[in-house]
Structure 1
Amino acid sequence: MPVLRAGKEQMYMNNADDITNEEFDAKSLYQIGYGLYVLTTRDGDKDNGCIVNTVMQVTSTPPLIAVVVSKQNYTCGLIQKTGKLNINSLSESTPFEVFKHFGYQSGKDTDKFAGCSPERSANGLIILPKHTVGYLSLEVERELDFGTHIQFMCTPVEGKLLSDEETVSYTYYQNNIKPKPQPEKKSGFICRICGYVYEGSTLPDDYICPICKHGVADFEPI
């Protein structure tokens, strides 16, 4: 499949921590709305899934879907190899354990579907009907390399609505699903995204959260 590479200016803008404009507040990025989805794919007899938050319909005629995945995700390489993926749109009733299972561990180290007899769509990939409002089966047409992330431009080949529940937004997840962090009384910084605590009196300028991969702009003192 064709691979397009973003220019230096675009790649630079991907990292909000690198922007030195004093008028730019990285927190202003939080106003952008996101959903939360379980992306599933398969290579041979190996199934995998991960949580993604950047999925959008780009065109309607013909329909074209953009999906952005971090290169650090094991799933990203599987998509590049197979060119197929499913997007499962999670509902507001999805328990935190689902987000933890698919988002806080790597499929490179564990089989996220071990012991399960999951349902599959026509393309052979897993769907999650229990906590899913609907799903899309996608085929990759081309990809755009942004340095840290890959944007997959995809054509839908199958799609079904499974529930009339509301699709969960990232804001709803933060406010209503994710447990509130309960850090111990100690010196350090806590990640606003995933709750990881960095112990120490000073947070390095180039520090990256080992759990969610966000930079220092998303940490605050305890």
Structure 2
Amino acid sequence: MDPKAFHKISYGVFIVSAEGSDHKAGCVINTLTQVTSSPMKLSIALNKNNDTLEVIKEAGTFSAVVLKEDVDLGLIKIFGFFSSRDKNKFESISYKFDDNNNPYPAGGIVAQFSCRLCDSLDVGSHVICIGEVTDANLVSEDPPLTYADYHSKKGGATPKNSPSYQEGTTGYQCTVCGYIEETDDLPDDFICPVCGKDASYFRKL
């Protein structure tokens, strides 16, 4: 089996979020798909270790946003490389609430969906959640960010909880945020594009 074949599957970049009884949670995902048109339903896949999954289950609803092509990488850093258990991801950004009272980022997005959780399926490392869309908003006509562009244009990393993360990647990994630079040699003056740490914080894979 050649794992590189999976790199040819197209993905987007999204943030899903919800508010539980004691805190807000949200994370970056690359798997959001429309699965039916009547009624309108979306599917998302979340790692079982994600705090956001537990908060969505508690809330019974979630919000999902599509990121725009020129989104600030800092937004992806906040929602992709930290846990909502340890960090209030919304404290440093502008956000709004959807019609289900779930928070979502107000900037850097092209569309927003409000969903009621109606089903879930355990598929191994991840859980697929099915949400019936209760509201949808086109925020901008700007192009959305694709996962390919995130990697090629923004030097983006794949968080370990992502369904597209693959074990055995070679290169150097940042010990702070998890970013992987796929290279045989890491320059001494290299700076992590996600968290800003220098080469001394990287370990060879």
CA contact (8 A) 2:95 2:106 kept: no
SS at match of 2:136: strand
> Who is 1:27 aligned against?
4
Cα distance change of structure 1 residues 36 and 61 upon mapping to structure 2, 3 Å threshold: same
* SS of equivalent to 1:216: coil
* Deviation (angstroms), 1:95: 1.4
Counterpart-to-counterpart distance in 1, 2:62 and 2:71: 21
Question: Structure 2: which amino acid aligns with 1:219?
Answer: T
Question: Which string of whole-angstrom CA distances, capped at 9 and with x for unpartnered residues, describes residues 64-88 of structure 1?
Answer: 2111111111101111222111001
* Alignment-derived partner of residue 175 in structure 2: none
Give the residue type in structure 1 aligned to 2:127.
I
Rg larger in structure: 1
In the alignment, what sits opposite 1:169?
146
Q: Distance in 2 between matches of 1:143 and 1:25?
A: 29
SS at match of 2:70: coil
SS across alignment from 2:130: strand
**Aligned-CA RMSD value:** 1.7
1:43-81 Cα offsets, whole Å, 9 max, x none, are 024111110110001111222211111111110111122
Aligned: 1:137 with 2:85: no
**Partner of residue 170, structure 2:** 219
Residue identity matched to 1:119: K
Larger relative helix fraction: 1
Describe how 1:1-222 pairs up with structure 2 within 5 A.
24-114=1-91, 118-178=95-155, 193-194=157-158, 211-213=159-161, 214-220=165-171, 222=184
TM-score, length of structure 1 as denominator length:
0.71
Runs (5+) with no aligned partner, structure 1 = 1-23, 180-192, 195-210
Q: Percent identity?
A: 24
- In structure 2, the gaps of 5 or more residues are 172-182, 185-205
CA contact (8 A) 1:144 1:152 kept: yes
CA deviation after TM superposition for structure 1 residue 114, in Å: 2.2
Deviation string for 1:90-133 (max 9, x for gaps)? Answer: 00010111111110111111111125563111111112231110
Contact 2:56 2:62 survives alignment (8 Å):
yes
Closer, same or farther: CA 117–165 of 1 in aligned 2, 3 Å = closer
Q: Secondary structure at the match of 2:153?
A: helix
C-alpha contact (below 8 Å) 1:64/1:154 kept by paired residues? yes
